[in-house]
Structure 1
Amino acid sequence: MILFTKLFLAHLFGDFIWQPNSWVANKELKKHKSVYLYIHILLHGVLAAVLVGEINFIPYAALITVTHGIIDLIKLHFQKDKTKRTWFVLDQIAHILVLIGIVLLYENKTIINFWQNNTFWILITAILLLTKPTSIFIKTIISIWAPESKNSHQDNSLIAAGNYIGILERLFVFGFILTGHFEAIGFLLAAKSIFRFGDLKEAKDRKLTEYVMIGTLISFGIAILVGLTVQALLL
């Protein structure tokens, strides 16, 4: 775990802290002809080697350099203005997967260690359950009470914001339960209620208020139930 932490720290320094916006702009403009691209990928290898601090790790640091360059080149050549966000996410996921692979390779482990780990599977299943599946379940359950949509309110809302907020709040509740911070759940619920109060008061729609409250309580209830279940399974 300490090896991955060091490599991830090197990644944070190389990709964010020590990469000026001027480098990013130059890379996007000149792509593989940008000198800053090669400085950037070399920096990742050097940082990884220095932070790990082991002679035997130098070949693996070189591998990080090469793979980082390949991933960045793919992103630079395929991303468009409208797809930058998507490629940014894919780029970061690819880099993290490479770091995980380097750790497994360096420590003579295999992916089987994860596949045979019960805790890993329980956590992954619970987290996945609390995302889209739970959103669909809640939407289906409370659809019978769904108030009529009002375009004036929809225009002022981010696309699918409510869905993402629900997913995030469930993941927060799940994390709070696993770490034993039950009091934080009350704080989260209170904070959401405060932020929602103004909108609901302005809407002057009792049905909408009740609809939101039912959805919120079901969402929190499922997250708490899943968290307690996972906590019991991991004991």
Structure 2
Amino acid sequence: MILFIKLFLAHLLGDFIWQPNSWVADKEIKKHKSVYLYIHILLHGVLAAVLVGKISFIPYAILIAVTHGVVDLIKLNFQKKKTKRTWFVVDQIAHILILIGVTLLYENKTIINFWQHNAFWILLTGVLLISKPTSIFIKTIISIWAPESKNSHQDNSLIAAGNYIGILERLFVFGFILTGHFEAIGFLLAAKSIFRFGDLKEAKDRKLTEYVMIGTLISFGIAIIAGLLVQALLLQLP
């Protein structure tokens, strides 16, 4: 575990802390012809080797540097202006998976078969339940009360922001229940109410207020029930 932490620290330093925006811009323009790309690759290898601090790890540090460069080159050549965010996520996931693989390889360990454990399936089902399926369920249930839009203030909101906020809040509630921090649920609900107060005050629409309250309470309710059910099932495991 400590080896992965050191490698992850090296990744954070190399990819974010010690990589100026000028390097990133130069790489995006010149791609494989950018000298900063190779400095960046070398930096990752050196950081990995130095932070681990073992001569025997040097070949693995070289492996990290080379694979990091390959992943970066793939991203630089395939990403477009509209897909930068997607490629950023894919790029970071690939780097982390490589670090995990190198850690297991160096420590001569095998990947644990998570799917062979009942707890994994219980948690996975719970998390998936409170994500998009619950969003669709809530939207369908409260659609009969959806207030008509009388102004364009909603046009200024982010695309599908409400959906993502709902999923995130349910994941937080789910996690709070499994970790036994029920008081944090009240804090989260209060925080959301404060942020929502401005919109509801400006709207001056009782139907909109009731609509938001119903959606919020159903969302929190489902997350709480799902968390308690998952917790109960996990406690039944041998």
TM-score normalised per structure 1: 0.92
Aligned to 1:28: 28
Q: Name structure 1 gaps, 5 residues minimum.
A: none
| Cα offsets for 1:191-232 (capped at 9, x unmatched) | 111111121122122111111111111111111122222223
Aligned equivalents of 1:65 and 1:117: distance in 2? 34
Shift of 1:150: 4.1
Point out the more displaced range, 134-143 or 69-78.
134-143
Aligned to 2:212: 212
Superposed, 1:64-213 pairs within 5 Å as 64-150=64-150, 152-213=152-213
Aligned equivalents of 1:161 and 1:175: distance in 2? 21
Aligned equivalents of 2:33 and 2:132: distance in 1? 41
Aligned equivalents of 2:47 and 2:41: distance in 1? 10
Q: Does 1:38 align with 2:38?
A: yes
Aligned equivalents of 2:204 and 2:192: distance in 1? 18
* Residue identity in the other structure for 2:201: K
| Cα offsets for 1:112-148 (capped at 9, x unmatched) | 5333233333333322322212111211222222222
Shift of 1:151: 5.1
Mark the CA change 1:105 to 1:190 in structure 2 (over 3 Å): closer, same or farther.
Answer: same
Mark the CA change 1:128 to 1:7 in structure 2 (over 3 Å): closer, same or farther.
Answer: farther
- The SS at the match of 2:149 is coil
| Cα offsets for 1:50-85 (capped at 9, x unmatched) | 222333322222221111111100111111222211
Aligned equivalents of 2:56 and 2:128: distance in 1? 38
Aligned equivalents of 1:206 and 1:59: distance in 2? 66
* Residue identity in the other structure for 1:136: I
- The SS at the match of 2:180 is coil
Aligned to 1:63: 63
Aligned equivalents of 1:93 and 1:186: distance in 2? 33
Aligned equivalents of 1:188 and 1:5: distance in 2? 30
* Residue identity in the other structure for 1:10: A
Runs of 4+ in 1 over 6 A off after TM superposition: none
Identity %: 89
Aligned equivalents of 2:151 and 2:84: distance in 1? 29
Aligned to 2:52: 52
Q: How many residues align?
A: 235
- The SS at the match of 2:152 is helix
Aligned equivalents of 1:107 and 1:13: distance in 2? 23
Shift of 1:109: 3.1
* Residue identity in the other structure for 2:84: K
Q: Name structure 2 gaps, 5 residues minimum.
A: none
Aligned to 1:225: 225
Mark the CA change 1:105 to 1:77 in structure 2 (over 3 Å): closer, same or farther.
Answer: same
Shift of 1:12: 0.8
